[in-house]
Amino acid sequence: MTQYRSVLITGASSGIGEALSHTLSAPGVTLHLSGRDAARLETVAAACRARGATVHPQVIDVRDQAAMEAWIAQAAPLDAAPLDLVVANAGIASGEGRTGGEKLERTRDIFGTNVDGMLNTVLPAMTVMAAQPAGPDGLRGRIAVIASVAAFMAIPDSAAYSASKAAADAWTVASARGARARGIQLTSVCPGYIRTALTARNEFPMPGLMDADRAAGVILRGIAAGRIRLVFPWWMGLLTRMLGLLPPGLTGKLMPNRTGESA
């Protein structure tokens, strides 16, 4: 696995972000971790320090553009090490369960976190990385955006979640070529169902459900391999793409009252 000296992860207080933080922790590694729950974030930070990492936790809302720009700008110089890897992981969903449907007032919150929050992470990170010296592989840094296989179809009762993940995936993939010309690798990560607090609310069978620790390993290997889009499990990506090609009315009949999220 590629060794990173300085890593920044949003949404690090639980789920995929927590698992990535644990997996990357080692002596000589500096982690810049953010979340909105101070107690949970400090618990993750303590576990990472126990593994030998230097950890700088930051309670921050990814929707705050100015705060995110300031935090990311100071993260790299903090330990005089280039910012090797940034993971835009913070995300939220409707979470209304099988019968609730998606509350309209929740829509702006979901887009604000999953799209604006992603851009508030990635764009400042690209600015920082573009000014860093290139490594032996020609890269100045790597950035991963955690999207979802939900990006490939319009999920009934999860409109904002699937649409926001589609936007995150499409923007990342479309921007990857230009970013690579600047020495920055962009990877859109589209997982299926991962065992997290987000999916714990789902009241239906989740095929291919994967533990977050295992998902973290898959993600890090995909980033190291230079993948522009990483979809796993592959058959879940194929299935959601096929469902996304069906007439919307038919999709709704095939997935009645199945509100829920992946990742």
Residue with tokens 């879940």: 236
Tokens describing residue 101 = 């449907």
**Percentages of the chain per state (helix, strand, coil), in multiples of 5:** 50, 15, 35
Catalytic residue among 4, 71, 152, 161: 161
160 vs 92: CA distance, rounded Å: 10
**Residue located via tokens 């609310």:** 201
Residue 179 contacts residue 226 (beta carbons within 8 Å): no
- 161 as an active site residue: the answer is yes
Separation CA 189–CA 149 (nearest Å): 9
CB 260 within 8 A of CB 192: no
* Tokens representing residue 127 in the block: 């600015």
Provide the pairing of β-strand 210-211 with 229-232. Answer: unpaired
List helix spans (H) across 103-262.
104-111, 117-130, 159-181, 197-200, 212-224, 234-244, 248-254
Catalytic annotation, residues: 161
